[in-house]
Each structure stands twice: as C-alpha cells, then as structure tokens.
Amino acid sequence: MRYLKERKLPFFIALTYVGIGTLSVCSILPNDRFYNEWFLVGLVFTFPVTIVSFAYRYAEGNVLYPVFIIQAIMFVLTFLIFSNLLKVKKDKK
C-alpha cells in the first residue's frame, strides 16, 4: 500500500506534463480542433516528451493515433523517471 502512495505524485506529474504535450502536438495544424497560438508555448514547455510526436506530426499531419501511441510510451518513460527521482530524494532524507 505504501508503494502506491509513493507513486501517486509522480503519476499525476507525468500525466499532467505529457497531457499538456499531447494536447499541444494535436493542436499544431490550422485545421485541428484546438488550434491556437498557445500550442507553441506548450511544445516548448514539454519539449523533451513531444519531440518525437512533433516530428511525426510534421511529417504526416493527418493521422493522430500514432501520436497517441508515441505519447503513451513517453508517459510511461516520464512516469518511471519521475518516480525514480522522487524515490532518490526521499531516500536521501
């Protein structure tokens, strides 16, 4: 049970971070539903997790499901990194 409580914070941080990046990548093209000028700010803020999705979206703009697959993989990696970083900080205390 303690294990799940320790991973709750990294889960929500990774979910928010990658979610903002996914929304930004899905808002790049003018015919996208959420297209606006804010997508550039989101992409810069979430650059490490959106670089691969952005490259795919730039090359093949009409299909979105590979972007969601790429971002799901990035979510898992981000979650593991954040949970490891927060675990190291707790161990040092």
pLDDT in tens, 3-52: 666 788 889 999 999 999 999 998 888 888 888 888 889 889 999 999 99
Sign of CA dihedral 80, 85, 89, 92: positive
The pTM of the full predicted model, rounded to 2 decimals, is: 0.84
User: Mean per-residue pLDDT for 71-78?
Assistant: 96
Spatial contact of 47 and 17, defined as CB atoms under 8 Å apart: no
